[in-house]
Amino acid sequence: MKLPLHWKIVIGMIAGLLFGFIMKNLEMKGIVVDWVKPFGTIFINLLKMIAVPLIVVSLIVGLSDLKDISKLSKLGGKTVLFYLISTVTAVSIGLVLANIIKPGSFINEVSRKSLLENFAGDAAQKIELAEKAKTSGPLQPLIDIVPDNFFKALSDNGSMLQVILFVILIGIGLILIEEQKSKPVVDFFKGLNDVIMKIIDIIMSAAPLGVFALMAALMVEIPDFSTLGALLVYALTVVFGLLLMTFVFYPTLLLTLAKVHPIRFFKAIAPAQLLAFSTSSSAATLPVTMECVTERVGVDEEVSSFVLPLGATVNMDGTSLYQAVAAIFIAQAMLPEPLDLQTQLMIIVTATLASIGSAAVPSAGMVMLVIVLGQAGIPEAGLALIFAIDRPLDMCRTVVNVTSDATVATLVAKSVGKLNEPENS
Ligand code: ASP
């Protein structure tokens, strides 16, 4: 019997963790860093390499299939609405949990001091990165979406929104010109689309090995933190919130609005979730999310090619929930008075915007957290408190970010009548 891909990935992950653990204890970290980790990096590079071509080609094919501009604006409107609703729900869940559980009260003076001292340098680096984002004007994010050179945007993985904007214009152009002229262009991209999908299959066949290398490297590189115990309640609060989103909120939406059984859905997107966990990057996971959602959930490419790249960049429920919990946690640990209701409501707005502004790469959510803290008057140096536990939480929140994108793609597809029987489930 052929083992499904997601099981192979799970085995790769567990084997990688065990291997890393053994090598760490044998004091052979160097071997893992020099000889195993590079294969993880190569795997992530391969995924990123195919992400931009995939977005360009599949979005052109998807949009040209729409055949009507009004359908595009309907699709866009629904997508933005679903993304906003899910992100605001995530922040609110984070806020409520952090207020009920009060993770900040579990951290004693000794751990607080030692965390602040040990991670002051790391926190300062993130704060500096966030400073750059803060100094620009209020409309800068809008300016940033419009490229002055499409080819420059293509060559920068961080300019995904610029690429999407230009490709949408090409799609609109193709819809507006005579079919006789657009057909050869669309046919070319359809062929290329199949080629890219094949390349993704080939890359994914190396996934078990790639995640093995990533997990082994993670195991040897993660430092030992004696103070981690103090952060346990905080970490569990974040994880509990993420579990609520994954196993209560999304399944409810899927069942009620899309009539899709959550177990079938989770089975279909498991490879993308596992990859999100291993890479901590929604952008690197995007090619696999696209394949899972299109071929295994049954979302028409017209919808997935538009909703998913946009979601990878702007929709981050896991990140926004984490930012809310982290902000309240730091406030509880560092401020004499609890935050008032008005400030907490402000956090809903700032964490939503900060998650939209976070890049889909590892630890980006933590950089943008600095802005949330600043707006709420919480000391930014408090970032040092949560540094030690950030990587594992990043892995978990990235899974939720990807699950949310896939859920919204399914809901939007259902609402526009584009949810098909999957090709293979
Ligand atoms: N790593 C996350 C992602 O790529 C972003 C973050 O929260 O740091 O989705």
For the stretch 71-96, pLDDT in tens is 888 999 999 999 999 999 999 999 99
Per-residue pLDDT at 141: 77
> Collapsing DSSP states into helix, strand and coil, what is residue 419?
strand
Residue 262 near ligand 1, beta carbon < 6 Å: no
Residue pair 283/360 in contact (Cβ under 8 Å)? The answer is yes
Per-residue pLDDT at 226: 55
Residue 64 near ligand 1, beta carbon < 6 Å: no
State yes or no: pLDDT of 216 exceeds 80. Answer: yes
Ligand 1 centre from 93 Cα, in Å? 18
Please state the atom number of ligand 1 nearest to the C-alpha of residue 358: 5
C-alpha 34: how far from chain center: 28
Please state the atom number of ligand 1 nearest to the C-alpha of residue 397: 7
Listed range (110-124, 375-389, 390-404) with the worst mean pLDDT: 110-124
State yes or no: pLDDT of 242 exceeds 80. Answer: yes
Neighbours of 249 (CB within 10 A): 19
Higher pLDDT, 179 or 107: 179
Ligand 1 centre from 363 Cα, in Å? 6
Per-residue pLDDT at 253: 97
pLDDT band at 1 (very low <50, low <70, confident <90, very high): low
Per-residue pLDDT at 388: 82
Ligand 1 centre from 387 Cα, in Å? 15
Per-residue pLDDT at 235: 94
**b/e burial code for range 166-186 (CB count within 10 A of at least 16 → b):** bbbebbeebbeeeeeebeeeb
C-alpha 244: how far from chain center: 17
Per-residue pLDDT at 115: 79
Residue pair 283/160 in contact (Cβ under 8 Å)? The answer is yes
Ligand 1 centre from 184 Cα, in Å? 39
Ligand 1 centre from 362 Cα, in Å? 5
Q: What is the pLDDT of residues 166-213, one digit of tens each?
A: 999 999 999 999 999 999 999 999 999 999 999 999 999 999 999 999
Residue pair 204/7 in contact (Cβ under 8 Å)? The answer is no
Residue 61 near ligand 1, beta carbon < 6 Å: no
Residue pair 313/355 in contact (Cβ under 8 Å)? The answer is no
Mean pLDDT across 8-25 = 95
Please state the atom number of ligand 1 nearest to the C-alpha of residue 362: 1
Specify the residue with its C-alpha closest to ligand 1, atom 6.
365
Please state the atom number of ligand 1 nearest to the C-alpha of residue 367: 8
pLDDT band at 122 (very low <50, low <70, confident <90, very high): confident
Mean pLDDT across 140-161 = 87
Per-residue pLDDT at 361: 87
Name every residue whose Cβ is closer than 8 Å to that of residue 40 and which is 6 or more positions away in sequence: 210, 211, 212, 213, 214, 216, 217
Question: Tokens in use for 382?
Answer: 């408090």
Residue 361 near ligand 1, beta carbon < 6 Å: yes
Name every residue whose Cβ is closer than 8 Å to that of residue 21 and which is 6 or more positions away in sequence: 219
Per-residue pLDDT at 199: 95
State yes or no: pLDDT of 251 exceeds 70. Answer: yes
Neighbours of 259 (CB within 10 A): 9
State yes or no: pLDDT of 131 exceeds 80. Answer: no
Q: What is the DSSP string of 333-393?
A: HH-SSPPPHHHHHHHHHHHHHHHHHS-SSTTHHHHHHHHHHHHHT--GGGHHHHGGGHHHH
Q: What percentage of the chain has pLDDT greater than the value 70?
A: 96
Please state the atom number of ligand 1 nearest to the C-alpha of residue 363: 8
Mean pLDDT of the chain: 91
pTM to 2 decimal places: 0.91
Q: In 3D, which of 131, 91, 126 has the Cα closest to residue 326?
A: 91
Per-residue pLDDT at 270: 96
Q: How far is CA 384 from CA 114, 231, 238, 403, in A?
A: 10, 12, 17, 29
Pocket test for ligand 1, best of 126, 281, 396 (most atoms within 8 A of CB): 281
Per-residue pLDDT at 66: 80
Question: Tokens in use for 269?
Answer: 């997107």
Residue 365 near ligand 1, beta carbon < 6 Å: yes
Higher pLDDT, 110 or 250: 250
Per-residue pLDDT at 425: 52
Residue 126 near ligand 1, beta carbon < 6 Å: no
Q: Side chain identity at 291, as an amino acid letter? A: E
Residue 112 near ligand 1, beta carbon < 6 Å: no
Q: Side chain identity at 59, as an amino acid letter? A: L
State yes or no: pLDDT of 332 exceeds 70. Answer: yes
C-alpha 157: how far from chain center: 14
State yes or no: pLDDT of 221 exceeds 90. Answer: no
Residue 278 near ligand 1, beta carbon < 6 Å: no
Ligand 1 centre from 52 Cα, in Å? 18
Listed range (53-57, 104-108, 152-156) with the worst mean pLDDT: 104-108
Please state the atom number of ligand 1 nearest to the C-alpha of residue 401: 9
Residue pair 303/409 in contact (Cβ under 8 Å)? The answer is yes
pLDDT band at 227 (very low <50, low <70, confident <90, very high): low
Ligand 1 centre from 178 Cα, in Å? 42
State yes or no: pLDDT of 406 exceeds 90. Answer: yes
Per-residue pLDDT at 230: 72
Per-residue pLDDT at 182: 93
Residue 246 near ligand 1, beta carbon < 6 Å: no
In the block, tokens 């059984």 appear at: 261
Ligand 1 centre from 382 Cα, in Å? 20
